Structure 1
């Protein structure tokens, strides 16, 4: 039988939450934004926690902070305890599950979000996500969506936009396609290759970055969705021009390989968007905060 732990006076919960938030965001300012309190309030809670524990949890250098060895060890216990408490509240019905409607395009959903969803569910078991995968811009005012992920310049009327992912653009193909076309040595060799097309990433700007004065291709399969373009490249149907954030998994797994060293910095990015001029519900703020930390 396991021996009971000695009774120890627990520090205030808001101090533990502040400690976890500062550790997660790497600074007091971002932690304050996540907790919807002032930076001075975060500093006060951390100072009180350190005084109660009798140890330093952070090393402060200018505007940045890092965990001490004792802080790193303590963090694992704090996160486990907070997660367990949240789960317990849900089980006992003390916290009614909240619903958030998240909208995002198919390629970002399948190639970026799904690999990370478990982290949000572990951190916020009290929140249910309704995920709408669509390339259509849904209406925030009608309640179709609470949070959206969009690709663009961040200037949508009536919406607040926070940059999530900057992207680079480069060509990829499957190992089988590259092996079947061993003459693919330089960008100029693309003149003989099958180029897969999609409206999100046009070929001509990348041609220019590669020093090629070529027009936009008019031949080769054209896809309405980026996700299909990536699938076609994996199935050795040709060479695709892709956004870096959407092919991390395929490059790591070796189902796609990069061609050449030339890449184009996109003027657009993926953004988190919410309705402008409205204070977000706590559960919406929690999702936005998690997305920002995952980007």
Structure 2
């Protein structure tokens, strides 16, 4: 009997969730919604025929089957990454860009293709994260933050103007009153 592999997208999601032990952090890393991550894991578990994660209040852990599967999947992705890098051969380097999840998924993802076409010898790695980046400890070349640009030790460049609109529950808006909304 031959075994047919599940969709690679679901396997990739499994690897990220297994590594982070968090649907939320995996979603941020992959530039997906948490619901999309949950759906991919559900598809994989249905295909597998059993749970790969044990869901507990406010945390998850790998099931026994997940514990057996995760290291092999992680090794397989590392092997594919090495093979891809070797095949590209002419890459001058890797530009690592960290950006807030909302910016990475709504703006950066749409514009990165043009940059890649203009710089084909440079590989771009995007890390979608909502945590602060420490340039002294992480291999990050560029980070996109929202704010005034007054970050000690960093050089800031204005990229674009963005308007934000607060979304409030009707009851909360009523309690806070009109003074809370500019």
What is the aligned partner in structure 1 of residue 176 from structure 2?
none
Aligned pair partner of 1:71 in 66, 75, 80 = 66
How many angstroms does 1:92 deviate by?
A: 1.6
Q: Does 1:62 align with 2:40?
A: no
RCO comparison, higher one (Cα < 8 Å, 6+): 1
Partner of residue 187, structure 1: none
When the two structures are superposed, what TM-score results if normalisation uses the length of structure 2?
0.53
Q: What's the TM-score once normalised by structure 1's chain length?
A: 0.34
Q: CA deviation at 1:53?
A: 1.1
**Structure 1 equivalent of residue 45 of structure 2:** 50
Give the aligned partner of residue 142 of structure 2.
Answer: 146
Separation of aligned partners in 2, 1:19 and 1:274: 36
Task: Determine the C-alpha separation between the residues in 2 that align with 1:71 and 1:43.
Answer: 15
Deviations 1:20-67 (Å, cap 9, x if unpaired)?
Answer: 111122211111111111100000000001111112100011231100
C-alpha separation in 2, matches of 1:27 and 1:101: 23
> Match for residue 18 of structure 1?
13
More strand by share: 1
Match of 2:149 among 146, 150, 158: 158
Which one has the bigger helix percentage? 2
Q: Deviations over 1:244-264 (max 9, x none)?
A: xxxxxxxxxxxxxxxxxxxxx
Residues 43 and 91 of structure 1: CA distance in aligned 2, closer, same or farther (over 3 Å): same
Query: What is the CA distance between 1:158 and its match in structure 2?
Result: 1.8
Give the total of aligned pairs. 119
Secondary structure of the residue aligned to 1:90 is helix
Deviation of the 1:100 alpha carbon: 2.7
| Residues 66 and 101 (structure 1), Cα distance of their counterparts in 2 relative to 1, 3 Å cut | closer
Change (3 A) 1:60 1:88: same
Instruction: Give me the CA root mean square deviation.
Output: 3.9
> 1:84: how far off?
0.9
CA contact (8 A) 1:90 1:97 kept: no
Q: For 1:95 and 1:56, how far apart are their aligned partners in 2?
A: 42
- Partner of 1:185 in structure 2? none
> In the TM superposition, what are the counterparts of 1:96-175 in structure 2 within 5 Å?
96=91, 98-100=93-95, 145-147=141-143, 157-158=148-149
- Structure 1 match to 2:138: none
